[in-house]
Amino acid sequence: MGKVILDGVTKRYADVTAVNDMNLDIRDGEFVTLVGPSGCGKSTTLETIAGLTKPTEGTITIAEKEVTNLPPKDRGIAMVFQNIALFPHMDVYDNISFGLRLRDYPKEEIDRRVERASDIVQLEGMLERMPDEMSGGQRQRVAIARAIVREPEVFLMDEPLANLDAKLRVHMRTELQRLHKELDTTIIYVTHDQAEAMTMSDRIAIIDGGELQQIDPPLVCYNEPQNLFVAGFIGSPSMNFVEGEVTASGLSTPDFDVEFDPGQLSGVTPGDALTLGVRPEDVYLREKSENVSNPTQPIAARTDVLEPMGDEIFVYLLTGDADPTMEADDAMPQNQLLMSVDPSSDISEDTDVEVVLDRERAHLFDTETGDAISHSLEFAAVEPGPAGTEAEGDD
Amino acid sequence: MATESETEQGPLSRWVDSSIQNPEKVYRAMFYVATIFFLFTTLFPFYWLLVLALTPNDAIANFGFPPVPNGFNPGAFIEVFQQVPFHLYVFNSFVLGIVTTAVVLVLASLAGYVFGRLDFPGKAPLMLLILAVSYFPPAAFVIPLFRLFTGNVTLFGVAPPELFNTPFAMILPFSALFMPLSIFILSTFYGQIPDGLEDAARIEGTTRLGALFRVIVPLSAPGVATAGVLTFISVYNEFFFSFIMTTGEADQWAPLVWGILSYQGQYSELYNLMAAASIVGVLPVAIIVVVAQEKIVSGLTAGALKE
Amino acid sequence: MSTSTEDDVRDTRRSGPYVAVVRWMENLSDTQFAYLLLTPVLLLLALIAFWPLLSTFRMSLYADSLVGASALGEFVGLQNYVELLTGQRDVVLVRPFLDLNAPFRSALTVTLIFTAVSVFFETIVGFGQALVLDQEFRGRRWVRVAIILPWAVPIVIQGMIFFLLFQPNIGFLVEPLQNWGVFTATPLTNSVDSVIILVVADVWKTSAFMALIILAGLQSVDRSLYDVGRVAGASKFQQFKMITLPLVLPSVLVAMLFRTIGAMRVYGIIETVSGCNTVPSLSCLVVSTFRGSRMYGTSAAIAFITAALIGVVVSVYIVKYADTEEASG
């Protein structure tokens, strides 16, 4: 069965550690996405699974067979590449059947499988074309057909949609999901696009700096990020972060305070530096917050820039004295708060407003370590620990 | 612009006038003169061969300028094969050229893959070492090789087979001497194949070597052809080892060099046959140049400008 | 459904050792794999180039053995070199190694003269050909074929052509040239005349190689630089002098380097046109000393001096090249 287990996989080059102690346990038939910024080690991780790169340490098991020292061809895997990597000197049929021909399958068997694979990806009637006579989307289908024709235990996909145009990319996303349903094979998918990861995966593995940050189903990653990196990486636009200090009655930030009982958070004492995280959709105009059962105290702010997206409006707010406070290496003003509001909202730039945060959906992180402390201000603590731990008192 | 003075002046002064106004015209004229000069100087020696070959041997004397054939005797092109087995010499050269090319292409493909696609300690010095081989004069290798091939040297206590007067005595030095250029040409081409294609081939089921010969080499066909053409021409044209490593009998793998020289030596008065033999000997490479000139140009320039 | 077991079955159909070798090769690191693939090339070069080179050097340190069965006499250190360079060895040679009184009949001098003169003219002619080929015109392809053609002519045929052009009995050139006082009546047995003929033959055959490399340099010059020059009011000649020339100089040097190396090894054309007695180049002397007289020690010393000389020339060019690169970069 197509289980994939990475145990302590580390890949060091002369001067950098690309992957550090990676542990993954991927179930049979699961669609797992490795996601992270470029250079985070996600592609290297995939290459070690493929056998294109040999790990410095650790073992890899595919379908209950240890494959750490096996060449790619003996691992029962197929792979789809970012640059599509069709052999330009072969027509579609030869490209798709390449792996089967190498393994001396009988002609009828090859024909049958190629026909079925090209059927699945809707390439009928194109088997005699050369790759350079096809569109980007068609080529990508050939690459996928080349992978599925081998009926592998595991599919590896390295940013397969990155080179396609936006429209085609969205379309291919649904095709891949359909394909996964149809084939019921394990898929390990690498992307830097968190939206792709969110929409397609059973679980997302978020990687940064060569290390696994969190592996959980998309909504768990979204709602209960285990650390600041995950919280900031998943979700678009990003979560708002405000740094503050724990007081006896909550968290004090430069421009506003939020209240909670620090005594109920284990390991937190007044004076600790914590970061408040809140997603744009959990920031409300005070007058529209009637559905929020547990709002914070109103926070005074001034609207800065509006970004109407059609189905919602992004409102950039400046808290405090309403001048952006920035330091040299800040990407955005420290006192900026992003709010997402209904398009019907009557709101304009440069006006004073009051906003509230949804206490049940605000997060607290240790500023120093970045670890999540709580995924709600309505209480109790999240035990810092293994992936997928349910936050208690979420309701 | 057009004035009546044009009609009064002679054509020469008219041309001078207009060229002062328009220096482009002068450059154009210089260009045509130069082109015709180069065409004449490169092609005239071939014409001279043709003149000699067509002139009956007893009529070869007192050519004026420009020389024209004194008579018409195409029979020389048949006689040339009867006097000595010239076809055998040419055939030997072909065999030597093809075998050497095959050996060079296989070995240089391996080395070209290594230098074009892999990173490893010692890469740059090794590359220089291999390059250095092509700098040394054949004379610096020939004495030990001659003694080795004539069976006068034992290597590690074993007497190697006597290769003198066999094709191997030429194929081995040819391969070593012409290999570096092919390695450089091929490493450039192989280095340009995207990594993804090699990875894809390996995932699909080839070994690393399989990916080289099933994907990288076929995709670099123009580069392989370039290296092949240059190697073949080099072997066909080689003099030093072709001359020294055989005693010159056509049935003992002596190549073209000896075919031509046998006319100079044994039949020193048969000038028409010397010319005819030369024309026959040039024809194969002339055809290759016409067909593959782009490859030759790109290969020579890439090989030379690589450093 | 597991394909990997299916593949296993297919793999085991092949013989065990094959699979084992493949596994072993696939598990080599990049470095190990690189050296494995280089092994055949390095073995070949070791046998045909490195071993003979070292062996030549070793032989050059031994005396000649003119009597007896063994090829070499006793160890004499650098004596062969010393005697060659001071002229003491000349008496036993077919032609002197270094005799400044007869520069065209001693090996070192005639080789250097031939090299310098032929490379000089090849550079000029090659540059001219490159400028012609750099133009766009109808039939350029065929002009290029014509210019490359001599390059592809086998050395022995090149020799034959010039032998036939200057053979007094038949050539139409010898008589007028003799009347003008350029040549003697038998240029092919006169050393000075023969060197001139050999230079012409070499220029004829190898200018094309120069031309192609210089052409590549010309075509890599950014065309917009000429627009800049034109706007600045430079004439065509000034553009050539101030833009083209400095920018193609590196390729010219590379081309000259290769031709110099080639010219210093000259042998085949001499053997065919006028013979090694008339024009005793260094390579000629190596061959005649070891094949004719079996003086292996002397011959090896000459061969090694030839190689060293080429090494010196290569380093000079490399230094010069680095200078121009620095200047233009």
Question: What is residue A388's predicted lDDT score, i.e. its pLDDT?
Answer: 40
C314 neighbourhood in chain B, CB within 8 Å: 135
For residue C319, what are its two tokens? 């230094």
Q: How far apart are CA B26 and CA B221, in angstroms?
A: 44
Half-sphere exposure of B90 (CA within 13 A, CB side): 16
Shortest Cα–Cα distance, C273 to chain A (Å):
49
Question: What is residue A392's predicted lDDT score, i.e. its pLDDT?
Answer: 39
Q: Which tens digit of pLDDT belongs to each residue from C101-121?
A: 888 888 999 999 999 999 999
pLDDT at B184 over 50: yes
When pLDDT is averaged across residues C205-231 and rounded to a whole number, the result is: 87
pLDDT at A395 over 70: no
The better pLDDT of the pair B145, B18 is held by: B145
pLDDT at A296 over 80: yes
- Tell me which residues of chain A, numbers 110 to 169, contact chain B at a CB-CB cutoff of 8 Å: 146, 150, 156
Architecture of the domain whose range is A228-374: Beta Barrel (2.40)
Question: Are the beta carbons of C267 and B239 closer than 8 angstroms?
Answer: yes
Residue A17 burial by Cβ neighbours in a 10 Å radius (0-12, 13-18, 19+): middle
A76 neighbourhood in chain C, CB within 8 Å: 2-4, 7
In chain A, whose CA is at the least distance from the CA of C8? A74
In chain B, whose CA is at the least distance from the CA of A103? B205
pLDDT at C295 over 70: yes
pLDDT at C12 over 50: no
**Helices assigned H by DSSP within B238-267:** 240-244, 256-265
Chain B interface disruption, residue of A67, A79, A144, most B CBs within 10 A? A79
- Beta-bridge mates of residue C62: C75
pLDDT at C5 over 80: no
pLDDT at C11 over 60: no
When pLDDT is averaged across residues B12-16 and rounded to a whole number, the result is: 74
Max avg pLDDT among A347-356, B35-44, B136-145: B35-44
Q: Which tens digit of pLDDT belongs to each residue from A313-337?
A: 999 998 876 566 666 666 677 788 9
Shortest Cα–Cα distance, A35 to chain B (Å):
20
Question: Are the beta carbons of A356 and A298 closer than 8 angstroms?
Answer: yes
When pLDDT is averaged across residues C190-216 and rounded to a whole number, the result is: 93
Question: What is residue A67's predicted lDDT score, i.e. its pLDDT?
Answer: 92
CA angle B281, B287, B293 (to 5 degrees): 125
**Helices assigned H by DSSP within chain B:** 5-8, 11-21, 23-54, 76-83, 86-117, 123-135, 139-149, 168-191, 195-204, 208-211, 217-219, 221-237, 240-244, 256-265, 271-305
Whether B147 and chain C come into contact, CB under 8 Å, resolves to: yes
CA angle B265, B268, B274 (to 5 degrees): 90
Cβ-nearest to B203 among A72, A88, A103: A72
When pLDDT is averaged across residues A10-30 and rounded to a whole number, the result is: 92
pLDDT at B88 over 50: yes
Q: Which tens digit of pLDDT belongs to each residue from B42-62?
A: 999 999 999 999 998 888 877
pLDDT at C10 over 60: no
Contact flag C4-A69 (C-beta cutoff 8 Å): no
Question: What is residue C328's predicted lDDT score, i.e. its pLDDT?
Answer: 58
Contact flag A103-C10 (C-beta cutoff 8 Å): yes
pLDDT at A311 over 70: yes
Question: What is residue B301's predicted lDDT score, i.e. its pLDDT?
Answer: 80
Whether C29 and chain A come into contact, CB under 8 Å, resolves to: yes
When pLDDT is averaged across residues C250-270 and rounded to a whole number, the result is: 91
Q: Which tens digit of pLDDT belongs to each residue from B23-46?
A: 777 888 888 999 999 999 999 999
When pLDDT is averaged across residues A45-64 and rounded to a whole number, the result is: 92
C53 neighbourhood in chain B, CB within 8 Å: 136, 140-141
Question: What is residue A385's predicted lDDT score, i.e. its pLDDT?
Answer: 43
Q: Which tens digit of pLDDT belongs to each residue from C126-139?
A: 999 999 998 888 88
pLDDT at A389 over 50: no
Question: What is residue B305's predicted lDDT score, i.e. its pLDDT?
Answer: 64
Q: Which tens digit of pLDDT belongs to each residue from B265-284?
A: 776 678 889 999 999 999 99
When pLDDT is averaged across residues A279-298 and rounded to a whole number, the result is: 88
Q: How far apart are CA C51 and CA B141, in angstroms?
A: 8
Architecture of the domain whose range is B76-305: Orthogonal Bundle (1.10)
Shortest Cα–Cα distance, A14 to chain B (Å):
12
Question: What is residue B103's predicted lDDT score, i.e. its pLDDT?
Answer: 96
Give me the interface pTM, i.e. the ipTM. Answer: 0.88
- CA torsion sign for B71, B75, B77, B83 is negative
pLDDT > 90 in chain C, percent: 42
Cβ-nearest to B179 among C22, C41, C255: C41
**Residue B296 carries which side chain, given as an amino acid letter?**
I
Question: What is residue B266's predicted lDDT score, i.e. its pLDDT?
Answer: 72
Question: What is residue A120's predicted lDDT score, i.e. its pLDDT?
Answer: 86
Instruction: List residues in chain A touching C: CB distance below 8 A.
Output: 54, 63, 65, 69-71, 74-76, 103-104, 150-153
Question: What is residue C197's predicted lDDT score, i.e. its pLDDT?
Answer: 94
Cβ-nearest to A69 among C2, C22, C27: C27
- Tell me which chains share at least 3 CB pairs under 8 Å with chain C: A, B
Question: Which pLDDT band, with edges at 50, 70 and 90, does B306 fall under?
Answer: low
Whether B27 and chain C come into contact, CB under 8 Å, resolves to: yes
Q: In 10 A of CB A162, how many CB atoms?
A: 14
Question: What is residue C234's predicted lDDT score, i.e. its pLDDT?
Answer: 79
Rg for chain A (alpha carbons), in Å? 25
When pLDDT is averaged across residues A257-273 and rounded to a whole number, the result is: 86
Q: Which tens digit of pLDDT belongs to each residue from A84-143?
A: 889 999 999 999 999 999 989 999 999 999 999 998 888 888 899 999 999 888 998 899
Contact flag A65-C4 (C-beta cutoff 8 Å): yes
When pLDDT is averaged across residues A354-365 and rounded to a whole number, the result is: 91
Shortest Cα–Cα distance, C30 to chain A (Å):
10
For residue B240, what are its two tokens? 């030093």
Minimum mean pLDDT range among A272-276, A318-322, B99-103, C294-298: A318-322
Max avg pLDDT among A184-188, B126-130, C5-9: A184-188
The better pLDDT of the pair C260, A346 is held by: C260
pLDDT at A211 over 50: yes
Architecture of the domain whose range is C81-328: Orthogonal Bundle (1.10)
pLDDT at A59 over 80: yes
Contact flag C27-A71 (C-beta cutoff 8 Å): yes
- Tell me which residues of chain B, numbers 75 to 94, contact chain C at a CB-CB cutoff of 8 Å: none
A85 neighbourhood in chain B, CB within 8 Å: 194, 196-197, 199-200
SS3 A246: strand
A240-A242-A246-A248 Cα dihedral, nearest 10 degrees: -80
User: What residue ranges in A171-298 does DSSP mark as E strands?
Assistant: 186-191, 203-208, 211-216, 240-247, 250-252, 257-259, 273-278, 283-285
Question: What is residue C1's predicted lDDT score, i.e. its pLDDT?
Answer: 41
When pLDDT is averaged across residues B132-139 and rounded to a whole number, the result is: 84
Domain range list for chain B: 5-59, 76-305
pLDDT at C314 over 70: yes
> Residue B233 — φ and ψ, nearest 5°?
-60, -40
Question: Which pLDDT band, with edges at 50, 70 and 90, does C51 fall under?
Answer: very high
pLDDT > 70 in chain B, percent: 94
Contact flag B137-C310 (C-beta cutoff 8 Å): yes
The pTM (predicted TM-score) of the whole model is 0.84
A4-223 topology per CATH: Rossmann fold (3.40.50)
Whether C19 and chain A come into contact, CB under 8 Å, resolves to: no
Max avg pLDDT among A372-381, C41-50, C243-252, C317-326: C41-50
Minimum mean pLDDT range among A68-82, A375-389, B266-280, C230-244: A375-389
Q: How far apart are CA C137 and CA A75, in angstroms?
A: 58
Mean pLDDT over the full length of chain C: 86
Chain C interface disruption, residue of B40, B136, B229, B246, most C CBs within 10 A? B136
Question: What is residue C68's predicted lDDT score, i.e. its pLDDT?
Answer: 64
Mean pLDDT over the full length of chain A: 87
Contact flag C29-A54 (C-beta cutoff 8 Å): yes
B196 neighbourhood in chain A, CB within 8 Å: 81-85
Whether C30 and chain A come into contact, CB under 8 Å, resolves to: no
- Tell me which chains share at least 3 CB pairs under 8 Å with chain B: A, C
Question: What is residue B5's predicted lDDT score, i.e. its pLDDT?
Answer: 47
